[in-house]
Structure 1
Amino acid sequence: MVLRPRRDFGAGPWVASAWVIGVALATVILTFLTPAPPGPVTDTFIPLYSSGITVRDDGERESLPPRASAQPSPSAAGREWLAQGSVPAAGTPNEEMSVRALLDIDALALPVRYGKADVGPQRYALIAAWQDNWHYVWPRDASFAAVALARSGHLDQAWGILSYLQDVQSGDGTFQARYLPADIGSTPDDRAAQTDGIGWVLWAARQVLAEAPAARRGEIRSGLDLLISRASAAALRLTDDGRRLPPISPDYWEVREYRLTLGTAGPLLIALQSAAHLGSVGAATAAVRYRDLLVATFGSQGYPRQRGWVGSLGASAPDTAVNFVRRPFVDEDLPGAAAAWQASQAAMVRPGGGLAPGGSWRNDGISWTPTTSIYALVAACSGDTAQARTWLAWLEAHRTEAGSLPEKVLSDGTPASVAPLAWTSANVLIALSCLPGPDEDIGG
């Protein structure tokens, strides 16, 4: 028998085939997971549920019909309340919008009483809007309202809002998505907790204390000690002292998330920096460490809503959260944040002239005033006066007939959904507080 040498084909062809199949499979998976661009523009119609809200002299709130014939005059109690503070943008063309936004926030700040409220300031449950599905306290909205009130001279009301949040805060320092205003600590449904609340509450505490006169700062800081210490501990725990990004959580989009968003990751930097400023041990080092991590992960891809799976492949479009890595939320703009912020607006602009929550948001033609006003706020507080005034002019032009700021604006420019919306009203007031006064050189 003749022995023939065995032909050894080696592993080369099999490895090559497996490699090709693997690359193809990965491409299919990543393509599937990459967010699709929004569909064709449609003109969705949403009615306007109310044009505003008033507070009678007896303290009762009254929702105004969608087509109010004129802007309501403030009650005697409302005029007295305004006189106790100051009006951002007083003496400028924005003064009337500022007054109405202040009155609207006051109307949505419901005085509440319960056991814990016997100590400290009068508590206020700041609801998002008057209508049923908005008649809840979102820590995010309430935090912005507290800052707006503090900057307008209504310090005790701002303290009362934060004290309410302290009372509903979980023992581990976190917050639920929203709360029933009067049934302390109770929630209307089983929505998951939203981690970003930690950042907003700590930022608000920092801002409110900055507005407090020196003679009262110690009193208010002591009254908010539990809120600050628990939220600071939560921020440190969720980021492992700044060494890792936080777990996946829903954010202001109010939907279940399967990937970490900048809307959650960004506010954790806000939390750590605010905690450091408020004296939390270890927060300063953690904030520096976490800032570098956030820049290396989200920043390296232009601060998208969701970062890519492999490099930027699979990254989503930018959204409102690009504002959260700029002043006045963080100590200094993160590298590349200003350019990403400017570029993001093109993907979010809607036919009515405002902005959608994100570049991948459904293309229904609707502008959202919370997003638009956040851009106005960041522009104003970053010194971009011209752009801030452009967005503020758009917001003023699209108020209801009662003068309130609505949640949405349709493609034809019609106000829609609820009005007033607390978050938008607060954003506008904070923006106006950052702009130069009538006697200052406003430049561009």
Structure 2
Amino acid sequence: MSTKTRRGPVRPPAARPARRGGAARRRRTRRLVAFAMVMLLAATCGATLPGRPRPQWTSPGLIGGGGWPLAYQPLQADEAAGASYLPDSSVVRLADGRVRLIRSGGRQPITVAGDDPRVAVAVRGDRLWLADGRIPGGDSVYRDMAVRALLDLRLLTGVDGAVTASWYRHWRYVWPRDAAFVAAAFQVSGHPEEARRVLRFLARVQADSGLWAARYRPDGSPVADGRAPQLDSLGWVLWAGWFVTAGSSAPGADELWPMVRRAADYLAGSLDAAGLPPPSPDYFERDPDKEADPHRPTLGVAGPVLTGLRAAADLASRIGHAAEAGRWRRAARRLAEAIAQAFAPHGYPRSPVAGGLMDTSPTFLGPPFAPADPGVEAAVLEAARRLRLPNGGVLPGERWRGAKTVAWTPEMALFALNAAACGRVEDALRRLDWLNEHRTELGALPEKVNSAGRPAAVAPLGWTAALVLLTLAALEEPLPIPPP
């Protein structure tokens, strides 16, 4: 639905006696001046207005502990100066030497002396969990970033697999898209049970139609806020299910089969006569009516749908569902041909139009989501060039409607992942360096970085953490790619 307000013709005001009209105008003027002064004060010194709370999303990271079930609380920004995590843990040493943690079975943080025995217990729990898996990147200069990303994802993931995008208000929801990447990150870091737990949650909340809501509360209830289902999420969840069960000894494919069948059948049945899925919001979460071509999907939808269909077909073939495998493979081929006809001639822009704007979505058509293609790689490099900001980061897309000087870390990490998976090692390392250098005071990966190079918005952001871990893993050995 359009957000524009329908306006009729402007009617001239009725004639009034001059004296009474002048008094009314003076009263209106005084009210407008007074209102303007209040708004000016709120904008320039709002933090000092009585009763106005400080924005809590400026937290530089989460406090946790090594116990089970896990719990977390944000560390307030004014406590971050001089604070740091104890190595390989979510336990924080404050500037005064005391330690803040959440003890096993607790929900609220406690502050204790550094030699309190509960500190050692909490740290040991985190370190044992890390030791159960592996740290992508090993002992490289990125180890601290990888450890922090892993521990943050662990804190954001509930007992039932509900992994929230972050901790603060509008981010404390489960987006299937983000959760899919978190499952893949747990898999490459040697934590398959956490990966399957995330996928089980997604299977539980999936509608019988195969769709997912745009987002869910941690209890699994969909958020009814008018957001339409986002078809790219189906593709990403199918890819994650395939990724987590792709190894020869990886269990769980049969358990995920009902979820896979519903989602893949929906996507295969959604393709139009040209072979494209219908318009839908993608990772921009924007109404398709606002796109350059509102009648066709963006590349941010078409790319993940293609990846998901290929992944589902391969998974079905592996566990003996030949009919479904054939049907989904044929749908994937139709979609691949449609993308080649609609997007490739224009250089893979966001919408399939001449002179279309670029965004990050050409990365969805290359490794590790699809086999390498010279045309796609050229589009990725061109998109990265166009989206680059003076602070070294990237915007989500050209002519971005949000802040024009604020970089977004998930997009930077997507370019890093593509570079690593394509063998452009120096490009990947340069982007990882930027992400590493723009973490918060506690080392968490934020959602955004402002023009001054300072972390902005919420931290940590699960999607960015997951992408960083996948990038580090891809630099060590090739990630699996769904066969075409």
Question: Shorter-chain TM-score: what band?
Answer: 0.7 to 0.9
User: Quick one: higher RCO (CA 8 Å, sep 6+), 1 or 2?
Assistant: 1
Matches of 1:386 and 1:348, distance apart in 2: 19
Q: Which residue in 1 is equivalent to 2:155? A: 107
With over 3 angstroms needed to count, the CA separation of the structure-2 counterparts of 1:63 and 1:125, relative to structure 1, is same
1:190 matched residue in structure 2: 226
* Structure 1 moving runs of 4+ over 4 Å: none
TM-fit CA distance, 1:187: 1.4
Deviations 1:398-437 (A, max 9, x none): 0001000000000110011110000000000000001138
1:306 aligns with 351
Task: Give yes or no for the alignment of 1:359 onto 2:398.
Answer: yes
- The reply to whether residue 231 of structure 1 matches residue 244 of structure 2 is no
The equivalent residue for 1:72 is 85
Q: Could you tell me whether the CA contact under 8 Å between 1:376 and 1:391 is conserved in 2?
A: yes
Q: How big is each residue's C-alpha offset from its partner over 1:173-205, in whole Å with a ceiling of 9 and x where there is no partner? A: 1111110111x2321522111010110001101
2:165 aligned residue: 128
1:49 aligns with 2:58: yes
Q: In the aligned structure 1, how far is the partner of 2:380 from the partner of 2:208?
A: 36
Change (3 A) 1:48 1:366: farther
2:378 maps to amino acid: A
8 A Cα contact 1:295 1:335, kept in partner: no
What letter corresponds to residue 173 of structure 1 in structure 2? G
**Which stretch shifts more, 398-407 or 345-354?**
345-354
Query: Where in structure 2 are there 5+ consecutive unaligned residues?
Result: 1-54, 90-122, 317-323, 478-484
Q: Deviations over 1:125-173 (max 9, x none)?
A: 0100000110000001000000000010100110000010001111111
CA distance in 2, matches of 1:179, 1:395: 28
Q: Within 5 A, what are the aligned runs for 1:19-418? A: 49-58=58-67, 59-66=70-77, 68=80, 69-73=82-86, 74=89, 75-111=123-159, 123-182=160-219, 184-187=220-223, 189-211=225-247, 214=249, 216-217=250-251, 220-239=252-271, 243-258=274-289, 259=294, 260-279=297-316, 280-281=324-325, 282-308=327-353, 312=354, 315-330=355-370, 332-334=371-373, 336-362=375-401, 364-418=404-458
Unaligned 5+ runs, structure 1: 1-45, 112-122, 438-444
Q: Secondary structure at the match of 1:250?
A: coil
Shift of 1:57: 4.1
Distance 2:267 2:448 in 1: 32
Please provide the CA RMSD for this pair.
1.7
The answer on whether the counterparts of 1:167 and 1:185 sit within 8 Å (CA) in structure 2 is no
Q: For residues 173 and 264 of structure 2, what CA distance do their matches in structure 1 show?
A: 25
Q: Is the 8 A contact 2:406 2:450 kept in 1?
A: yes
- TM-score, normalised to structure 1's length? 0.80
- SS of 1:435's equivalent in the other structure is helix
SS in 1 for 2:288: coil
Distance in 2, Cα, partners of 1:294 & 1:276? 19
2:162 is paired with a residue of what secondary structure? strand
Read off the aligned partner of 1:399 and give its amino acid letter.
R
For 1:57 and 1:335, the matched residues in 2 are separated by 46
Q: Partner amino acid for 2:129?
A: W
Q: Is the Cα–Cα contact under 8 Å of residues 360 and 384 in structure 2 kept in the other structure?
A: no
TM-score scaled by structure 2?
0.74
Per-residue CA shift, 1:3-61, capped at 9, x if unaligned?
xxxxxxxxxxxxxxxxxxxxxxxxxxxxxxxxxxxxxxxxxxx9962101122245321
Residues 341-362 of structure 1, C-alpha deviation per residue, up to 9 Å, x if partnerless? 1011122111211011012214
What CA deviation, in whole Å up to 9, does each residue of 1:61-95 have, x standing for no partner?
11112251333121332112111111001121111
Q: Deviation at 1:334?
A: 4.3
Identity %: 39
In 1, Cα distance between equivalents of 2:236 and 2:221: 18
- Letter matched to residue 298 of structure 1: F
Residues of 2 paired with 1:236 and 1:390: CA distance?
38
Q: In the aligned structure 2, how far is the partner of 1:226 from the partner of 1:209?
A: 14
For 2:397, give the aligned amino acid.
G
> For residue 279 of structure 2, what is the amino acid of its counterpart?
I
Separation in 1, partners of 2:263, 2:228: 17
Distance 1:388 1:340 in 2: 16
Aligned length: 369
**CA separation in 2, counterparts of 1:291 and 1:57?**
46
The amino acid that maps onto 1:297 is A
Does the 8 Å contact 1:47/1:417 carry over to 2? Answer: no
Measure, in 2, the Cα distance between the counterparts of 1:188 and 1:384: 42
SS at match of 2:214: coil
The residue type equivalent to 1:89 in the other structure is: G
- SS of alignment partner, residue 293 of structure 1: helix
